[in-house]
């Protein structure tokens, strides 16, 4: 499955790296005393100054020491938040531009384009996230779960960097070990090595310019008249449905937790995705006394469940399942009769054992209720 899904995994990893490419901001004096924790925390204490740059980088993804794929990236970032990213992967060029109000992605080879604007931009925070916010995100990811060590300083893309090693306290941690080489002046991550299980991701900038000159066309895309253009908001339609409608959407009956002991099935939502992944997914949202407790999503799947680093294998309804707990996020997944079930526990009052007990009360929804 890992090889078969390498494209989706690669995009997920690159997306995560974009969220980490700037871990700080403002100018810092090289004379300051350095420690690994100070490098990560200084960014939070300094001013959130705008940052403009042009960069070129390479992302390599390995499995068991063997290189699986490479992304070649170019980035243009203005101090008013506009961005342009050009990515070459498997000889396919993808251009993504955020002009301050909308995001447009274009693949010239395929003559396909996608755009999102208005409310959809709220789910694309990484395109507008300031360096300080990215620093906060990075720090939150590793401050409690990793030991920070000072590594050997190096020059990356002509810039002097600090070198920090973030070693996971738990070897099964989902994030895994990380090494970061951080620009001493601008707090930009110029090199990153992330190892999680048998997957290693390496990002390294080969060029970085903090005084770029952008022309008026940098943050625009001229699309041909015959381009196949789709609104990403329209690729995934969401609506509230009844239990009978949810069965029709999934295409077969599925198990659900009946209302009991004050537990209420407050809302059922159906997601119809027509993008790269075409499927119908149903979310069952449960509450007690008006407080959201958990939700369970159900969708058809013919792929075998895999246990990834950071996940614990558990038994759910006598089926193989996986459980992940990271900070306040708790989720478990299992498969049953051709369907994938994923539950996210939202309220701390419900424990994993509580939820597993509830799964034993599940009944089949087949339209005959």
pTM of the model: 0.64
Distance CA 188, CA 156 (A): 11
145-183 pLDDT per residue, tens = 888 888 888 999 999 988 888 888 877 666 788 888 888
Taking alpha carbons only, the member of 53, 30, 28 closest to residue 42 is: 28
Instruction: For residue range 11-58, list pLDDT tens digits in order.
Output: 333 433 343 333 333 333 333 344 555 655 554 455 456 788 999 999
DSSP conformation class of 134: H
Cα gap 251→293, rounded to integer Å: 27
pLDDT at 223: 83
Return the DSSP state at 237: E
Tokens of 98: 């955020």
| Mean pLDDT across 259-271 | 94
Residue 273: band (very low, low, confident or very high) from pLDDT cuts 50, 70, 90: low
Give the tokens for residue 265: 């099935």
pLDDT of residue 227: 78
What Å distances lie between residue 313 and 198, 199, 233, 297, 319, CA to CA?
Answer: 17, 19, 35, 19, 10
Contact status, residue 204 vs residue 188, Cβ threshold 8 Å = no
């Amino acid at each position: 499955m890992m090889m078969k899904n390498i494209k989706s995994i690669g995009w997920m990893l690159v997306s995560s790296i974009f969220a980490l490419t700037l871990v700080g901001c403002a100018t810092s004096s090289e004379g300051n005393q350095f420690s690994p924790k100070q490098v990560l925390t200084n960014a939070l204490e300094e001013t959130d100054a705008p940052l403009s740059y042009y960069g070129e980088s390479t992302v390599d993804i390995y499995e068991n020491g063997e290189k699986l794929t490479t992304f070649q990236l170019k980035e243009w970032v203005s101090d008013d938040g506009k961005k342009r990213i050009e990515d070459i992967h498997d000889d396919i060029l993808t251009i993504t531009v955020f002009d301050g109000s909308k995001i447009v992605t274009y693949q010239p080879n395929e003559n396909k384009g996608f755009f999102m604007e208005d409310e959809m931009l709220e789910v694309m925070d990484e395109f507008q996230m300031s360096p300080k916010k990215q620093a906060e995100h990075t720090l939150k990811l590793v401050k409690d779960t990793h030991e920070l060590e000072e590594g050997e300083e190096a020059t990356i893309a002509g810039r002097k960097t600090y070198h920090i090693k973030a070693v996971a306290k738990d070897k099964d941690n989902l994030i895994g070990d990380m090494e970061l080489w951080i620009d001493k002046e601008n707090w930009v991550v110029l090199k990153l090595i992330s190892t999680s299980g048998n997957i290693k991701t390496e990002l390294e900038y080969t060029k970085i310019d903090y005084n770029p000159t952008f022309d008026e066309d940098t943050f625009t895309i001229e699309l041909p008249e015959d381009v196949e253009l789709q609104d990403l908001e329209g690729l995934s339609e969401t609506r509230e449905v009844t239990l009978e409608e949810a069965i029709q959407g999934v295409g077969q009956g599925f198990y659900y937790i009946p209302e009991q002991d004050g537990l209420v099935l407050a809302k059922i939502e159906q997601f119809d995705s027509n993008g790269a992944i075409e499927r119908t997914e149903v979310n069952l949202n449960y509450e007690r006394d008006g407080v959201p407790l958990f939700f369970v999503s159900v969708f058809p799947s013919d792929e075998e469940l895999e246990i990834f680093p950071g996940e614990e294998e558990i038994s759910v309804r006598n089926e193989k399942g996986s459980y992940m707990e990271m900070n306040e996020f708790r989720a478990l997944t299992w498969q049953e009769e051709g369907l994938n079930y994923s539950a996210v526990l939202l309220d701390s009052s419900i424990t994993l054992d509580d939820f597993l007990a509830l799964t034993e009360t599940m009944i089949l929804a087949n339209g005959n209720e």
